[in-house]
Amino acid sequence: MSSNKILNLCKLLNNVSLRKNEPIVSCIFSRNISTTTRKFDLMEFFDDQKNWGANDVKVGRAWKKDEMRLKSNVDLHKLWYVLLKERNMLLTMEQEANEQVQLFPSPERLDKVEESMENLEAVIRERNKAYHELETGETGERPGKHVTSRLGLRYYYKMSEHVVPKHMNTKWQQKYQFYKYDRDVEAFLLKYNEKLYLTKKRKQRRDFNHVIGLLKRFPGMDMEALKQQYPDVDIEKAKHSRKCRGHFEP
Protein backbone atom coordinates (compact mmCIF):
# COMPACT_ATOMS: atom_id res chain seq x y z
CA MET A 1 0.00 0.00 0.00
CA SER A 2 1.34 3.42 -0.87
CA SER A 3 2.37 5.73 1.91
CA ASN A 4 -0.15 8.27 0.72
CA LYS A 5 -2.97 5.89 1.41
CA ILE A 6 -1.65 5.16 4.86
CA LEU A 7 -1.44 8.86 5.58
CA ASN A 8 -5.01 9.30 4.47
CA LEU A 9 -6.16 6.50 6.68
CA CYS A 10 -4.28 7.91 9.61
CA LYS A 11 -6.55 10.84 9.27
CA LEU A 12 -9.68 8.76 9.21
CA LEU A 13 -11.80 9.81 12.06
CA ASN A 14 -14.60 8.15 13.83
CA ASN A 15 -17.39 9.46 11.76
CA VAL A 16 -18.55 8.50 8.36
CA SER A 17 -20.25 10.81 5.99
CA LEU A 18 -23.32 9.64 4.20
CA ARG A 19 -22.54 11.14 0.85
CA LYS A 20 -21.63 8.69 -1.89
CA ASN A 21 -18.68 9.31 -4.21
CA GLU A 22 -18.55 13.05 -3.90
CA PRO A 23 -15.21 14.43 -2.77
CA ILE A 24 -15.52 17.67 -0.87
CA VAL A 25 -12.73 20.15 -1.28
CA SER A 26 -13.27 22.19 1.86
CA CYS A 27 -13.44 19.04 3.92
CA ILE A 28 -10.14 17.67 2.65
CA PHE A 29 -8.47 20.92 3.53
CA SER A 30 -9.74 20.90 7.08
CA ARG A 31 -8.72 17.28 7.53
CA ASN A 32 -5.22 18.04 6.40
CA ILE A 33 -4.64 20.57 9.12
CA SER A 34 -6.34 18.68 11.91
CA THR A 35 -4.25 15.72 13.04
CA THR A 36 -0.81 15.87 11.53
CA THR A 37 1.15 17.52 14.32
CA ARG A 38 3.55 14.97 15.72
CA LYS A 39 5.18 16.78 18.58
CA PHE A 40 4.66 17.33 22.24
CA ASP A 41 0.92 17.10 22.05
CA LEU A 42 -1.07 17.05 25.19
CA MET A 43 -3.47 19.34 23.35
CA GLU A 44 -4.76 16.22 21.59
CA PHE A 45 -6.67 15.60 24.80
CA PHE A 46 -8.81 18.63 23.96
CA ASP A 47 -11.33 19.31 21.27
CA ASP A 48 -10.77 21.73 18.44
CA GLN A 49 -10.63 25.21 19.93
CA LYS A 50 -13.64 26.44 17.99
CA ASN A 51 -15.79 23.84 19.74
CA TRP A 52 -14.95 25.12 23.20
CA GLY A 53 -18.12 26.39 24.80
CA ALA A 54 -20.19 25.45 21.72
CA ASN A 55 -23.80 24.44 22.16
CA ASP A 56 -23.59 21.48 19.83
CA VAL A 57 -20.98 19.82 17.65
CA LYS A 58 -22.33 18.19 14.51
CA VAL A 59 -20.77 14.87 13.51
CA GLY A 60 -21.70 11.92 11.30
CA ARG A 61 -22.55 8.40 12.39
CA ALA A 62 -20.43 5.56 13.77
CA TRP A 63 -18.50 3.10 11.60
CA LYS A 64 -20.52 0.05 10.62
CA LYS A 65 -19.21 -3.50 10.64
CA ASP A 66 -19.71 -3.83 6.90
CA GLU A 67 -17.50 -0.83 6.27
CA MET A 68 -14.79 -2.16 8.56
CA ARG A 69 -14.82 -5.49 6.77
CA LEU A 70 -13.42 -3.72 3.70
CA LYS A 71 -10.37 -2.50 5.57
CA SER A 72 -7.07 -4.27 6.02
CA ASN A 73 -5.73 -5.22 9.43
CA VAL A 74 -3.21 -2.40 9.33
CA ASP A 75 -5.91 0.16 8.61
CA LEU A 76 -8.08 -1.17 11.41
CA HIS A 77 -5.12 -1.04 13.77
CA LYS A 78 -4.60 2.62 12.91
CA LEU A 79 -8.29 3.39 13.12
CA TRP A 80 -8.36 1.91 16.62
CA TYR A 81 -5.85 4.46 17.85
CA VAL A 82 -7.72 7.30 16.17
CA LEU A 83 -10.88 6.18 17.96
CA LEU A 84 -9.03 5.71 21.23
CA LYS A 85 -7.67 9.26 21.08
CA GLU A 86 -11.08 10.62 20.17
CA ARG A 87 -12.62 8.84 23.15
CA ASN A 88 -9.97 10.21 25.50
CA MET A 89 -10.60 13.67 24.12
CA LEU A 90 -14.34 13.38 24.66
CA LEU A 91 -13.88 12.01 28.17
CA THR A 92 -11.57 14.91 29.02
CA MET A 93 -14.02 17.46 27.65
CA GLU A 94 -16.93 15.82 29.45
CA GLN A 95 -15.06 15.74 32.74
CA GLU A 96 -14.14 19.42 32.53
CA ALA A 97 -17.68 20.41 31.52
CA ASN A 98 -19.04 18.52 34.52
CA GLU A 99 -16.46 20.11 36.83
CA GLN A 100 -17.43 23.60 35.70
CA VAL A 101 -21.17 22.81 35.59
CA GLN A 102 -21.30 23.64 31.91
CA LEU A 103 -22.93 22.00 28.94
CA PHE A 104 -21.01 19.18 27.28
CA PRO A 105 -22.00 19.58 23.63
CA SER A 106 -23.33 16.53 21.76
CA PRO A 107 -22.69 13.79 24.30
CA GLU A 108 -23.80 11.18 21.75
CA ARG A 109 -20.35 11.50 20.18
CA LEU A 110 -19.00 9.26 22.95
CA ASP A 111 -21.51 6.56 22.10
CA LYS A 112 -20.69 6.81 18.42
CA VAL A 113 -16.97 6.33 19.12
CA GLU A 114 -17.59 3.42 21.46
CA GLU A 115 -19.92 1.76 19.00
CA SER A 116 -17.24 2.07 16.33
CA MET A 117 -14.69 0.50 18.69
CA GLU A 118 -17.00 -2.39 19.45
CA ASN A 119 -17.64 -2.98 15.77
CA LEU A 120 -13.92 -2.90 15.05
CA GLU A 121 -13.21 -5.53 17.69
CA ALA A 122 -16.04 -7.68 16.40
CA VAL A 123 -14.64 -7.58 12.86
CA ILE A 124 -11.16 -8.55 14.03
CA ARG A 125 -12.61 -11.36 16.09
CA GLU A 126 -14.45 -12.60 13.03
CA ARG A 127 -11.23 -12.69 11.02
CA ASN A 128 -9.29 -14.48 13.75
CA LYS A 129 -12.07 -17.00 14.13
CA ALA A 130 -12.01 -17.74 10.41
CA TYR A 131 -8.24 -18.30 10.57
CA HIS A 132 -8.48 -20.67 13.52
CA GLU A 133 -11.33 -22.63 11.96
CA LEU A 134 -9.34 -23.06 8.78
CA GLU A 135 -6.15 -24.07 10.53
CA THR A 136 -7.33 -26.06 13.53
CA GLY A 137 -11.03 -26.74 12.95
CA GLU A 138 -11.88 -24.91 16.18
CA THR A 139 -12.99 -21.36 16.72
CA GLY A 140 -9.97 -20.45 18.81
CA GLU A 141 -12.29 -18.64 21.21
CA ARG A 142 -12.24 -19.08 24.94
CA PRO A 143 -13.87 -22.49 25.50
CA GLY A 144 -16.79 -23.03 27.82
CA LYS A 145 -19.60 -25.44 28.56
CA HIS A 146 -22.99 -25.61 30.22
CA VAL A 147 -22.63 -27.05 33.71
CA THR A 148 -24.82 -27.52 36.76
CA SER A 149 -23.67 -25.68 39.85
CA ARG A 150 -23.69 -26.98 43.43
CA LEU A 151 -27.15 -25.43 43.78
CA GLY A 152 -28.44 -27.43 40.84
CA LEU A 153 -28.73 -24.42 38.53
CA ARG A 154 -27.48 -24.55 34.96
CA TYR A 155 -25.02 -21.91 33.83
CA TYR A 156 -22.39 -21.35 31.19
CA TYR A 157 -18.95 -21.99 32.68
CA LYS A 158 -16.21 -20.09 30.86
CA MET A 159 -12.99 -22.08 31.03
CA SER A 160 -9.67 -20.47 31.76
CA GLU A 161 -6.07 -21.25 31.00
CA HIS A 162 -3.91 -22.98 33.63
CA VAL A 163 -0.29 -24.01 33.90
CA VAL A 164 -1.02 -27.29 35.68
CA PRO A 165 -3.59 -29.92 34.76
CA LYS A 166 -6.90 -30.19 36.58
CA HIS A 167 -6.10 -33.13 38.82
CA MET A 168 -3.07 -31.33 40.25
CA ASN A 169 -4.88 -28.04 40.84
CA THR A 170 -6.43 -28.46 44.29
CA LYS A 171 -7.21 -24.76 44.59
CA TRP A 172 -9.34 -24.86 41.46
CA GLN A 173 -11.01 -28.06 42.60
CA GLN A 174 -11.99 -26.39 45.86
CA LYS A 175 -13.29 -23.29 44.16
CA TYR A 176 -15.28 -24.88 41.36
CA GLN A 177 -17.51 -27.65 42.58
CA PHE A 178 -20.27 -28.83 40.33
CA TYR A 179 -23.48 -30.63 41.01
CA LYS A 180 -23.70 -33.97 42.74
CA TYR A 181 -26.81 -35.45 44.31
CA ASP A 182 -27.84 -33.77 47.54
CA ARG A 183 -31.23 -34.02 49.26
CA ASP A 184 -31.15 -30.42 50.43
CA VAL A 185 -30.39 -29.21 46.93
CA GLU A 186 -33.32 -31.22 45.59
CA ALA A 187 -35.57 -29.58 48.16
CA PHE A 188 -34.24 -26.18 47.23
CA LEU A 189 -34.78 -26.83 43.54
CA LEU A 190 -38.37 -27.83 44.16
CA LYS A 191 -39.04 -24.53 45.85
CA TYR A 192 -37.01 -22.56 43.32
CA ASN A 193 -38.92 -24.05 40.40
CA GLU A 194 -42.16 -23.31 42.18
CA LYS A 195 -41.10 -19.71 42.45
CA LEU A 196 -40.28 -19.54 38.75
CA TYR A 197 -43.59 -21.18 37.92
CA LEU A 198 -45.52 -18.72 40.04
CA THR A 199 -43.72 -15.79 38.45
CA LYS A 200 -44.66 -17.11 35.03
CA LYS A 201 -48.26 -17.64 36.09
CA ARG A 202 -48.43 -14.16 37.52
CA LYS A 203 -47.21 -12.71 34.26
CA GLN A 204 -49.81 -14.71 32.33
CA ARG A 205 -52.57 -13.46 34.61
CA ARG A 206 -51.31 -9.90 34.32
CA ASP A 207 -51.34 -10.14 30.54
CA PHE A 208 -54.80 -11.70 30.58
CA ASN A 209 -56.19 -8.90 32.71
CA HIS A 210 -54.49 -6.33 30.54
CA VAL A 211 -56.10 -7.83 27.45
CA ILE A 212 -59.47 -7.63 29.19
CA GLY A 213 -58.79 -3.95 29.88
CA LEU A 214 -57.91 -3.43 26.23
CA LEU A 215 -61.02 -5.24 25.02
CA LYS A 216 -63.17 -3.13 27.31
CA ARG A 217 -61.65 0.14 26.11
CA PHE A 218 -61.21 -0.60 22.43
CA PRO A 219 -63.97 -2.99 21.32
CA GLY A 220 -63.27 -2.32 17.64
CA MET A 221 -59.59 -3.12 18.00
CA ASP A 222 -57.55 -5.04 15.43
CA MET A 223 -57.76 -8.56 16.89
CA GLU A 224 -54.86 -9.85 14.83
CA ALA A 225 -52.59 -7.17 16.25
CA LEU A 226 -53.75 -8.10 19.72
CA LYS A 227 -53.04 -11.76 19.09
CA GLN A 228 -49.60 -10.84 17.76
CA GLN A 229 -48.74 -8.80 20.83
CA TYR A 230 -50.12 -11.27 23.39
CA PRO A 231 -49.63 -14.72 21.84
CA ASP A 232 -50.06 -16.54 25.17
CA VAL A 233 -53.44 -15.04 26.03
CA ASP A 234 -56.66 -16.85 25.17
CA ILE A 235 -58.54 -13.92 23.67
CA GLU A 236 -61.88 -15.74 23.31
CA LYS A 237 -61.78 -16.54 26.99
CA ALA A 238 -60.92 -12.95 27.82
CA LYS A 239 -63.87 -11.73 25.73
CA HIS A 240 -66.27 -13.85 27.74
CA SER A 241 -64.84 -12.76 31.05
CA ARG A 242 -67.16 -11.13 33.54
CA LYS A 243 -64.80 -8.16 33.83
CA CYS A 244 -64.96 -7.55 30.12
CA ARG A 245 -68.73 -7.10 29.99
CA GLY A 246 -70.07 -3.54 30.02
CA HIS A 247 -72.86 -2.22 32.25
CA PHE A 248 -75.78 -2.43 29.87
CA GLU A 249 -78.78 -4.64 29.20
CA PRO A 250 -78.34 -7.00 26.28
Partner 1 sequence: MSTRWYPIYQKGGPQLRVFLPNFWMKLIKPPHEQPPNIVQFACSMEMTKYDIKNYLEKIYNVDVVHVRTRIGLGKTKRDPGLGYVVKADDTKYAYVTLPKDQEFKFPDLFPKVSTVEEDYEKTIKQTKDGFKDYLDKNKERPGMPGWFTV
Partner 2 sequence: MRISNIFLSRIGKWSKRYSNLPDRYIQRAMEQVYWRNPKGIQYKPNAVVQKKKFNFGVQRPWSGQFKNENGPRDVPAKVFLEPIKEWSFFRGDRVEILVGKDKGKQGFVKQIFEERNWVIVEGLNCELKQIGQSKQRQFDGVWIQEEQPLLVTNEIALVDPSDLTSTSIEWRFTEEGERVRVSTRTGRIIPMPASNDETVDYKSKAVYKEQPKDTTSDAVTEVTYEPKLCTFEMDIMDKMGIKEDRIPLKTYWY
Give the Cα separation of 125 and 98 in Å (integer).
36
CA angle, 122 then 111 then 15, to 5°: 80
In whole angstroms, the minimum distance from the beta carbon of 27 to partner 2 comes to 5
The answer to whether residue 148 forms part of the interface with partner 2 (CB under 8 A) is no
* Site membership for partner 2, residue 134 (CB under 8 A): yes
Round to whole Å and give the CA distance between 250 and 239. 15
Say how far residue 183 (Cα) sits from the centre of its chain.
41
The alpha carbon torsion through 150, 153, 154, 157 (nearest 10 deg) reads -40
Element containing residue 53 per DSSP (H, E): none
- Decide if residue 80 touches partner 1 (CB under 8 A): yes
Q: Given the rule CB under 8 A, which of 22-30, 114-122, 181-189, 218-226 is the region that contacts partner 1? A: 114-122
Buried b (16+ CB within 10 A) or exposed e, 223-234: eeebeeebeebe
Q: Considering beta carbons, is residue 73 or 173 the nearer one to partner 1?
A: 73
Please report, as residue ranges, which positions from 17 to 76 form the binding site for partner 1 (by CB under 8 A): 38-46, 52-53
Query: Which range of residues in 8-16, 93-101, 189-197, 198-206 is near partner 2 by CB under 8 A?
Result: 8-16
Q: Which is nearer to partner 1, 40 or 178 (CB)?
A: 40
Q: Which is nearer to partner 2, 53 or 213 (CB)?
A: 213
> In the complex with partner 1, which residue's Cβ is closer, 140 or 189?
140
CA distances from 240 to 217, 221, 229, 236, 245 (A): 15, 16, 20, 7, 8
- 46, 52, 81, 131: which one contacts partner 2 (CB under 8 A)? 131
Minimum CB separation from partner 1 for residue 104, in Å?
10
- Binding test (CB under 8 A) with partner 2, winner from 21, 49, 174, 177: 21
